[in-house]
Amino acid sequence: MQPPSPVVSTCPNCGGALVETSGGQLGCMVCLLRAGIGSEEELQQNSTHEASEGDGHLGVYEIDRREDGSLYELGRGAMGVTYRATDTSLQRKVALKIIKIDIGERSADARERFMREARAAAALRHENIATVYQFGIREETGQYFYAMELIEGETLEERVRRAGPLNARTTIAIAQQVTYALAAAEKHGLVHRDLKPANLMLVEPDEPEVVGRDRRARRKRTAQRASPSVKIIDFGLAKALHTQTDPRSLTHERFVGTPAFASPEQFEHSALDVRSDIYSLGETLWFALTGKTPFAGHGVDEIHRAQQSNVLPIEQLKAAHVPSRFRLLLKSMLALEPASRPGTHELAARLQHCSPEARSARLRRVALAAAALLILGISASFIFLSLRTQNSLGNLGAPGKSIAVLPFENRSEDKTNAYLAEGIQDEILTRLSNRARPRSNIRANPGISARSRSSWVRQTSSKVPCKRRPVRFASMFS
């Protein structure tokens, strides 16, 4: 048995591979190098960013702290940092995303993008998208922030890193939920632009109560455990499609997103639509199934070149026992040209066709069809045999007429004449039999049967008197 493939994680900032440090943690050597050779001004800005959140208050939101007193950070990306916080007004837990202060000070466009993305995310209401409650600005520092639904669970990236790649059934269930969310975002004219395993939260369902040995309840519990509910978080890079702002003007020709899970259009700063997110979803599903990204590289340029080659390592999916139908779907999602990728409606239909439930339904339909054909065949055979029996009975017609030839008695005194009596009886019997049998030149008389001598012998040996035995002669002369 081969050992499981190691999970390759990527840096959310530069897209480079994360390596394990001596302390057992994952780190990005590219970002560490940049920090080492960065200017004193950049280091100052980073320290200012950490210090600005030291008090942990932004409006009605108070950032939670860990046991060691540090701020409860949930994650950070190129645009900002997300903390676990408490809404002191409504007394509820939220996820609070704060734009990095160095970006806010240096780029008005970055602040504009942050606010536009927050408004776009706030307009979305879907069960598979984390709800945005509020967005605002911290007046004293100029920091932008927004509060969104806190999802208690783990990201898809954390799940794969902890437990290894997922099976096809669970991955398809996750893909279906994400597809529904992307379809809802498409109706609002939005794309996510940073769809990746770290932005998909998995929430395991509550254990249903099972009474006794209810097999159906146990099957339902098993299915629920295998298919967690999904929430897309951090629409921090979402872009309103209906806006006429050139996306390159907001990024100054820089890459926006996570390279390892970005579409070719993002590398080329082209116009984006939902098919860009579908490409990113394909890469995300590939990671969920194999623990690897389909296009390896240590930076933006290497990953982009790997995409342009359009050579997918399909053997990774085969090694993970991914069904062929699902492999073909992933290949179409990762098509280089957006026009060759499925839209949200087609993707949802094809995912449904790939699901084990659909396969079970197809097998049930085949079984029912086979049973119906078997029943139809048996019924047809029964009807055929019944009709054949009726025809056979009909061909028998009315019962035939019989002529009994009784023996002649020798009443002469000469006993030697007894043979003449027997000979006359046999001659009459022979002639009658020839008349009942059809011949080419003699017209047969149907319905006449001549009783043989043996029959007569049996009849004469019975106890019924001869005068009481039925003898019929009429048809012979009719």
Choose the final residue of a domain: 97, 128, 150.
150
- Total of domains in the chain: 2
Choose the final residue of a domain: 150, 184, 209.
150
In a domain, 9, yes or no: no
Choose the final residue of a domain: 150, 183, 204.
150
* pLDDT of the residue at 426: 78
* pLDDT of the residue at 478: 37
Which structure tokens are listed for 405? 């030839």
Indicate which residue of 194, 214, 246, 277 is catalytic: 194
Burial readout 162-174 (b: 16 or more C-beta within 10 A, e: otherwise): eeebbebbbbbbb
- Domain of residue 108 covers 39-150
| CA count, 13 A, side-chain hemisphere, 367 | 6
* pLDDT of the residue at 122: 78
In a domain, 459, yes or no: yes
* pLDDT of the residue at 457: 53
Alpha helices in 188-273 (DSSP H): 215-226, 247-251, 264-267
In a domain, 406, yes or no: yes
* pLDDT of the residue at 326: 97
In a domain, 358, yes or no: no
Per run of 10 residues, the mean pLDDT along the chain (length 478 residues) is 46 56 54 46 43 70 93 82 93 88 61 68 86 82 84 94 95 97 91 91 73 55 67 70 45 65 92 94 97 88 90 95 96 96 96 77 64 78 76 57 71 73 76 64 52 53 49 40
* pLDDT of the residue at 473: 42
234 catalytic? Reply is no
Burial readout 119-129 (b: 16 or more C-beta within 10 A, e: otherwise): ebbbebebebb
* pLDDT of the residue at 370: 75
In a domain, 442, yes or no: yes
In a domain, 140, yes or no: yes
In a domain, 416, yes or no: yes
Q: Find the CATH number of the domain harbouring 55.
A: 3.30.200.20
* pLDDT of the residue at 38: 43
In a domain, 144, yes or no: yes
